[in-house]
C-alpha cells in the first residue's frame, strides 16, 4: 500500500525544512526571487502533484528567507563593542536566578547601557546571596564581558549566541526600580504564583523535585541528585512535557464538568489554562511543542475536526524555528521532537512485540515508550552530552505511575491554595511523599554500578552486547 502524505503535512514540513536551512546558508533577495519564480511556474502547471511540489518549493524558500532574516537579527549586538567597559545599565530580569558555586546567573534584557538604548538579551552574573526576582527592573552598575569559550567540552559562548545573547553583564551593585509589565509581567506573576502555591509549606529536596517537574526548573536540586537523575535516565522529567499540558487541559475540562457548564466552555478553559501554563513555565522547546499540540486538540474539538498528531508536531517545529532557527541545535528541541516522533512510529512496533509478555498492559506500554524513546534519543544524548543511561527503562517504569499523581496533586494544590490554604498545605505534604519516591528511584537506579557510560570504550562494549541481542529479538519476532 502506498501512503501519500496529506498536502498540509507536505507544506508545513517544507516550511520547517526551509527555516532550518538558514543555519547552513542564508538567502535574502535571492530567496525571494527564487520563490517568485516557483510561484510563477505554479500558475503554468496542471497536475496536482506538480502543483503541490512547486507550492512546497515556494513555502520552503520563503521559510529559508525568513530564517535568514531571523538569524541576522539574532546575530546583531549593540553591546559587543562595549566588552571590557563598565557603566550603569537598566536591565530587566527575564528568568529565575539560578545559584551556582561562585555566583548566581539569570537571563535578562539590557534596555540601556551608559545612557544609550540597547534592548538586547544578556546573561547576568550576580554575587551569591540576595538575587532580584524574575521580572525585576534594575538600575545596576555592570561590566560587559564575553561569555566563556570552549571549556571541558562545553562552549558557553556559542550556546548563548544561539539564543541571541552575545555578552555577559557582571553586576557589581543593583537597585530594583520597578517590575516589567505587559505579557512578560503576566508571565512573571503566573510563575511566582505557581511556584509558591504548588508546594505550600514544603522545603528542601521535596520542594525542589516538585519545582523541577512542574516548572521545568531543577536549579534547586543538589548536584548529587541532579547526577542521579542523569545517570538513571530520568533527567527528562525535569523538562516540562506533554503530560503536564494534558493534565492542565484535563483539569479545566473536569472543572467544567463539575460546574455543569458545556464542553465548549470547558475547551475554551483548557485553551486558557494551557496558555497560562506555557507563560508561567517559560519558552522551553518541550513546553511550547506540547502547548501547541494541546491547543490544537482543543481547537479540533471546538471546530469539529479530527485531531492530527503529526500536523501538531510539525507546527510546533515551525513555531520554534520561525522564532529562532538556531533551535535546531538545541538539545531540548532535538530530544523533544525526536522522542515524540518515536512515540508515533517506534513505540507501537515495540508494544506489539511485547503483547505476549506476562505483564499488565500499562506496564507493557510503559516499557515500550521508555525503550523506544531511549533507543531513538540515545545518539542525541551521546553527541550532545557524552553519556548514555543504561537503566533508563526500569527507572522510567518505576517512576511513570507516580508522575500523574505528582502533577495532578500539584495543580490541585495550586488551585486549592487560593481558597483553602490550610487544606492546600496538607495536600502538598502528601505530594511531598510522591516527590520523595521519585527522588528515591533516581538515587536507587542512578547509584547502580554501570548505570551510565561516559567513554567510547563503554559505548563499544554496549554495542557489542545490544547488536546481537537485537538481531535475536528480530529473528524471534519474525517467526
Give the start-to-end residue ranges of the domains of the chain.
7-75, 80-180, 242-329
| Residue in 149, 42, 52, 132 with CA at minimum distance from that of residue 96 | 132
For residue 320, what are the CA distances in angstroms to 103, 316, 395?
31, 6, 30
pTM, 2 dp:
0.85
Classified as helix, coil or strand, 332 is: helix
Q: Please tell me the distance from the alpha carbon of residue 158 to that of residue 166, in angstroms, as a whole number.
A: 9
C-alpha span between 374 and 392 (Å, rounded): 7
- Which residue in this structure is represented by grid cell 507516580? 402
Report the C-alpha gap between 373 and 367 in whole angstroms.
10
Query: In this predicted structure, what is the pLDDT of residue 304?
Result: 56
Q: Which fold has domain 80-180?
A: OB fold (Dihydrolipoamide Acetyltransferase, E2P) (2.40.50)
CA-angle at 286, arms to 234 and 417, nearest 5°: 80
pLDDT at 3: 46
pLDDT value at residue 433: 94
What pLDDT sits at residue 305? 60
Alpha-carbon distance of 233 to 375, in angstroms, equals 12
What is the predicted pLDDT for the residue at 203? 87
Residue pLDDT tens, the chain, 479 long: 344 567 788 888 999 999 999 999 888 766 666 666 666 665 556 667 777 777 888 888 889 999 999 999 999 999 999 998 999 999 999 988 887 777 888 899 999 998 888 889 999 998 887 788 889 999 999 999 999 888 877 888 998 999 999 999 999 889 999 999 888 888 889 888 988 898 898 888 999 999 988 888 887 888 888 888 888 888 888 877 777 777 787 777 787 778 787 777 877 887 888 888 888 887 777 778 777 777 777 666 666 565 677 888 888 889 899 999 999 998 888 888 888 888 888 888 888 888 777 778 888 888 888 888 888 888 888 888 888 888 888 888 889 889 888 988 898 899 899 888 889 999 999 999 999 999 999 999 988 887 777 766 665 665 665 666 566 655 655 55
Largest CA distance in the chain: 76
- Show Cβ contacts of residue 1 under 8 Å, excluding neighbours closer than 6 positions: none
Q: What's the DSSP call for residue 78?
A: S
Amino acid at each position: 500500500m502506498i501512503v501519500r502524505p496529506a498536502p498540509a503535512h507536505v507544506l508545513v514540513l517544507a516550511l520547517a525544512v526551509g527555516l532550518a536551512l538558514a543555519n547552513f546558508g542564508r538567502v535574502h533577495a535571492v530567496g525571494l526571487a527564487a520563490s517568485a519564480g516557483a510561484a510563477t511556474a505554479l500558475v503554468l502547471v496542471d497536475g496536482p502533484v506538480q502543483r503541490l511540489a512547486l507550492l512546497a518549493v515556494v513555502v520552503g524558500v520563503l521559510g529559508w528567507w525568513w530564517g535568514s532574516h531571523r538569524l541576522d537579527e539574532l546575530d546583531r549586538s549593540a553591546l559587543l563593542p562595549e566588552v571590557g567597559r563598565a557603566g550603569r545599565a537598566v536591565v530587566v530580569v527575564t528568568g529565575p536566578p539560578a545559584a551556582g558555586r561562585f555566583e548566581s546567573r539569570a537571563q535578562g534584557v539590557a534596555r540601556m547601557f551608559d545612557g544609550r538604548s540597547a534592548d538586547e538579551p544578556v546573561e547576568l552574573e550576580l554575587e551569591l546571596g540576595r538575587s532580584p526576582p524574575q521580572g525585576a527592573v534594575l538600575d545596576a552598575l555592570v561590566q560587559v564581558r564575553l561569555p566563556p569559550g570552549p571549556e571541558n567540552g562545553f562552549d558557553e559562548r556559542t550556546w548563548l549566541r544561539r539564543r541571541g545573547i552575545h555578552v555577559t553583564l557582571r553586576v557589581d551593585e543593583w537597585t530594583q526600580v520597578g517590575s516589567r509589565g505587559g505579557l512578560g509581567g503576566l508571565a512573571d506573576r503566573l510563575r511566582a504564583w505557581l511556584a509558591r502555591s504548588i508546594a505550600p509549606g514544603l522545603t528542601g529536596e521535596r520542594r525542589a523535585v516538585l519545582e523541577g517537574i512542574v516548572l521545568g526548573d531543577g536549579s534547586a536540586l543538589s548536584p548529587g541528585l541532579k547526577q542521579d537523575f542523569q545517570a538513571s535516565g530520568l533527567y527528562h522529567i525535569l523538562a516540562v512535557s506533554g503530560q503536564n499540558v494534558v493534565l492542565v487541559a484535563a483539569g479545566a475540562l473536569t472543572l467544567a464538568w463539575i460546574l455543569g457548564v458545556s464542553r465548549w466552555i470547558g475547551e475554551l478553559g483548557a485553551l486558557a489554562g494551557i496558555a497560562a501554563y506555557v507563560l508561567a513555565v517559560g519558552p522551553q522547546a518541550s513546553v511550547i511543542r506540547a502547548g501547541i499540540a494541546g491547543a490544537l486538540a482543543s481547537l479540533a474539538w471546538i471546530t469539529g475536526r479530527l485531531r492530527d498528531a503529526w500536523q501538531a508536531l510539525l507546527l510546533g517545529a515551525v513555531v520554534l524555528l520561525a522564532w529562532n532557527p538556531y533551535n535546531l541545535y538545541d538539545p531540548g528541541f532535538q530530544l523533544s521532537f525526536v522522542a515524540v516522533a518515536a512515540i508515533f512510529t517506534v513505540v507501537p512496533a515495540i508494544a506489539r512485540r511485547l503483547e505476549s509478555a506476562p505483564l499488565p498492559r500499562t506496564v507493557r506500554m510503559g516499557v515500550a515508550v521508555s525503550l523506544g524513546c531511549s533507543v531513538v534519543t540515545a545518539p542525541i544524548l551521546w553527541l550532545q552530552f557524552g553519556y548514555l543511561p543504561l537503566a533508563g527503562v526500569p527507572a522510567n517504569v518505576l517512576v511513570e505511575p507516580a508522575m500523574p499523581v505528582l502533577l495532578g496533586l500539584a495543580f490541585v494544590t495550586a488551585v486549592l491554595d487560593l481558597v483553602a490554604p490550610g487544606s492546600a498545605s496538607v495536600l502538598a505534604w502528601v505530594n511531598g511523599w510522591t516527590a520523595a519516591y521519585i527522588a528515591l528511584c533516581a538515587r536507587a537506579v542512578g547509584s547502580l554500578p554501570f548505570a551510565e557510560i561516559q567513554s567510547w570504550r563503554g559505548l563499544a562494549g554496549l554495542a557489542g552486547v545490544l547488536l546481537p541481542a537485537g538481531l535475536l529479538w528480530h529473528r524471534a519476532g519474525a517467526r
